[in-house]
């Protein structure tokens, strides 16, 4: 109570100091939430590529592989399964200079692939696709929200651009299911059957070659799985074997992809953390300044406390608690403001699939712990100064 | 047994290149329950002697005994404990904490007392009644007059039931009438509580109400006389 009243005695100064911490923790929360969002994406990619091998056309060639390659790949030692992959932009013609998230994507889904995938999808509403599904789609949460679709609704995919040419083709699908939010890539996906994907694949081929290619015999890429539990090192070895034994394909070593995503995540975290820490250091210095002023102003009070029996450690503790409280108040306000802003921006960005922030329990703990630690550390020097005061000199001080 | 005993007490300190002999070989005894005033000109060593008795300063040499215990050479924390348990302080400038109300100010020494007294609040309210401030319990110091603030300080000095109360010019910041009232109050509490009072003062009115007056000059005791009061 005394600490709160002491803060209230110098309202403007206390407010400005707390504001310094507010700005710091606000920056940490918002930047951290953005970092967490991207980390989830990177982690998903890392998890995904830790359990599968992407196989595509050899370097420098268009992504077009004969499906017969699947049979050849399955003969390679260690390969448990291989599936064709097709994916298409949901909104062709959309101009995006910098993308902060996974764009809406139409993805082919074969139910037989599910047991091998590291990421386990779960249906929130409706049902999943079957091997015989045609004209049906299962939407990720973000796509369903963005297009305001429920189970039973119909959706035309890909979305017709405003300036579409007369020969633009899309197809109507029935929404049969909506996925639970994964907080990452699948939220932006619209899953269709492989047969429907091959139909869309034909639409995206250049007109000049469209008639000469049977899209039921080709794929954009192949996803290869080892037995469940196969290590990344073993998958690397399988990728090497595929490259050696199967001509005209390029298998990418999973460890290269994992390393790339890890490095991306670390760089992003470093940049956002550095910006937030800079703001926090400035806030911390203002706490040091305020607490030194508080100690100077309260020399006589400190002298009195020591005279009536306060031990050095007790005085130290009181001033540390005051500094820590400043940190906590600033931290709590900054954190709440940060959460409010990130939620508002997420809601605003939802319609364009631009949810950039993710406040996690880890971020909450870091932000609040950082605020407390900042206050305590910033209060150390002033608190030691108070605790070591000679009571006689302190009592004789004229304010 | 004497409440306070000083044996050949000396306090020297450096001021630039000069050694100041603030207290020089002072030996005296103050009995339990005595009301003693210490007088002398500025720089005579009164306040230094009071700080030595109050364990706020360490002596250069000599011994300080309180209730028979040699306390002059104790470590900082033990000295703080002795101050908390046996010594009360009254200062010229009251030294109340502005963030605390009257009750909280009086109870401040209890916060730091090693042995917590269960009846601390009751004791505080009784003392506030004794000093006539029971209706000001929730007021902040800046809502009180100088005299009232010093009454709060007197109650604070007594809350831990000390054996000695040390006053450094306790009437130095109040008017004559208030000074008289404070002197009367301290004398009354001295008798009621049986606590020893050692008051450093320039106030002859206050000094005249003591049982005994000790005169200091250049850090030495130059006079130590009892005062007879009319019955």
Provide the pLDDT confidence category of residue B116 given band limits of 50, 70 and 90.
low
Put simply, the answer to whether B108 touches A308 (Cβ < 8 Å) is yes
Nearest to B157 by CA among B30, B54, B48: B54
Contact A5 B91 (CB under 8 A): no
Chain A positions in Cβ-Cβ contact with residue B54 (cut-off 8 Å): 307
CA distances from A133 to A30, A141, A177 (A): 42, 20, 12
A388 touches chain B (CB under 8 A): no
Nearest to B112 among A6, A309, A391 (CB): A309
Report residue A375's pLDDT band, with 50, 70 and 90 as the boundaries: confident
Look up the ipTM and state it: 0.91
SS3 call for A171: strand
Cα torsion B128, B131, B135, B141 to 10°: value is: -80
For residue range A281-326, list pLDDT tens digits in order. 888 888 888 888 888 888 888 889 999 999 989 999 988 898 899 8
Residue A97, pLDDT > 60, answer no
Q: Chain A residue with minimal CA distance to B56? A: A392
Task: Give the chain B residue nearest A302 (alpha carbons).
Answer: B97
Q: What distance in Å separates the CA atoms of residue B7 and residue B72, rounded to the nearest whole number?
A: 11
A318 contacts chain B (CB < 8 A): no
For chain B, say whether A314 makes contact (Cβ under 8 Å). yes
Paired tokens of A212: 């000469």
Where along chain B do its domains lie?
2-226
**Minimal Cβ distance to B112: which of A2, A303, A314:** A314
Contacts of A302 in chain B (CB under 8 A): none
Here the tokens at position A50 are 């830790």
**The pLDDT of residue A14:** 86
pLDDT, tens digit (0-9, with 9 covering 90-100), for A116-152: 887 788 899 999 999 899 999 999 988 998 889 999 9
Is the Cβ–Cβ distance between B107 and B55 less than 8 Å?
Answer: no
DSSP string, A264-314: HHHHHHHHHHHHHHHHHHHHHHHHHHHHHHHHHHTHHHHHHHHHTT--HHH
Q: A394 contacts in B (CB within 8 Å)? A: none
A149 touches chain B (CB under 8 A): no
Tokens of A234: 């073993």
Contact A395 B108 (CB under 8 A): no
Looking at the complex, does the CB of residue A293 fall below 8 Å from at least one CB of chain B? Answer: no
Per the CB < 8 Å rule, is B77 touching A9?
no
Residues 6+ apart with CB under 8 A from B59: B9, B10, B11, B23, B52, B72
Topology (CATH) of B2-226: Rossmann fold (3.40.50)
Burial of A357 (0-12, 13-18, 19+ CB in 10 A): buried
In angstroms, rounded to a whole number, what is the distance separating the alpha carbons of residues B94 and A399? 14
pTM of the model: 0.73
């Amino acid at each position: 109570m005394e600490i709160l009243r002491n803060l209230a005695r110098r309202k403007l100064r206390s407010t400005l100091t707390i504001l310094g911490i507010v700005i710091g923790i606000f920056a940490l929360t918002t930047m951290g939430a953005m970092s967490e969002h991207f980390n989830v994406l990177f982690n998903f990619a890392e998890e995904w590529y830790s359990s599968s091998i992407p196989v595509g056309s050899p370097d420098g060639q268009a992504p077009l592989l004969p499906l017969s390659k699947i049979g050849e790949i399955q003969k390679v030692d260690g390969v448990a399964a291989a599936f064709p992959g097709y994916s298409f932009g949901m909104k062709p013609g959309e101009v995006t200079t910098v993308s902060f998230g996974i764009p809406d994507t139409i993805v082919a889904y074969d139910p037989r692939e599910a047991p091998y995938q590291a990421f386990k999808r779960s249906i929130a509403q409706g049902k999943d696709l079957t091997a015989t599904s045609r004209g049906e789609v299962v939407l990720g949460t973000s796509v369903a929200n963005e297009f305001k679709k429920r189970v039973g609704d119909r959706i035309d995919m890909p979305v017709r651009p405003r300036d579409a040419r007369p020969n633009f083709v899309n197809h109507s699908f029935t929404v049969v299911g909506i996925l639970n939010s994964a907080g990452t890539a699948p939220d932006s996906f619209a899953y269709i059957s492989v047969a429907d994907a091959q139909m869309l694949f034909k639409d995206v081929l250049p007109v000049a070659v469209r008639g000469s290619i049977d899209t039921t015999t080709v794929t954009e890429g192949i996803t290869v799985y080892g037995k469940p539990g196969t290590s990344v090192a073993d998958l690397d070895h399988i990728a090497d074997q595929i490259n050696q034994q199967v001509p005209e394909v390029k298998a990418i070593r999973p460890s290269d992809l994992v390393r790339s995503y890890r490095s991306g995540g670390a760089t992003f975290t470093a940049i956002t953390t550095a910006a937030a820490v800079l703001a926090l250091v400035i806030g911390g210095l203002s706490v040091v300044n305020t607490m030194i002023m508080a100690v100077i102003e309260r020399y006589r009070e400190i002298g009195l406390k020591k005279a009536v029996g306060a031990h050095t450690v007790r005085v130290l503790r009181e001033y540390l608690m005051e500094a820590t409280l400043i940190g906590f108040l600033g931290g709590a306000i900054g954190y709440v403001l940060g959460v409010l802003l990130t939620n508002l921006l997420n809601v605003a960005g939802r319609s364009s699939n631009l949810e950039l922030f993710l406040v996690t329990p880890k971020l909450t703990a870091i932000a609040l712990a950082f605020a407390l630690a900042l206050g305590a550390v910033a209060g150390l020097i002033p608190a030691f100064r108070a605790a070591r005061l000679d009571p006689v000199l302190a009592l004789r001080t004229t304010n | 047994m004497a409440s306070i005993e000083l044996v050949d007490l000396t306090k020297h300190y450096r001021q630039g290149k000069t050694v100041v002999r603030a207290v020089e070989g002072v030996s005296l005894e103050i009995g339990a329950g005595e009301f003693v005033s210490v007088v002398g000109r500025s720089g005579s060593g009164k306040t230094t002697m009071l700080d030595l008795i109050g364990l706020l300063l360490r002596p250069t040499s000599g011994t300080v005994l309180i209730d028979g215990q040699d306390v002059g050479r104790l470590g900082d924390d033990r000295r703080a404990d002795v101050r908390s348990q046996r010594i009360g302080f009254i200062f010229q400038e009251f030294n109340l904490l502005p963030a605390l109300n009257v009750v909280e100010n009086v109870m401040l020494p209890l916060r730091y007392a090693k042995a917590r007294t269960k009846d601390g609040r009751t004791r505080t309210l009784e003392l506030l009644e004794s000093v006539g401030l029971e209706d000001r319990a929730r007021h902040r110091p800046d809502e009180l007059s100088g005299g009232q603030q010093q009454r709060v300080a007197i109650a604070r000095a007594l809350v831990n039931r000390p054996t000695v109360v040390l006053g450094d010019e306790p009437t130095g910041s109040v008017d004559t009438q208030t000074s008289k009232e404070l002197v009367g109050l301290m004398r009354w509490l001295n008798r009621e509580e049986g606590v020893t009072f050692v008051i450093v003062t320039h106030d002859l009115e206050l000094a005249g109400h003591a049982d005994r007056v000790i005169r200091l000059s250049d850090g030495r005791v130059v006079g130590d006389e009892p005062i007879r009061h009319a019955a």
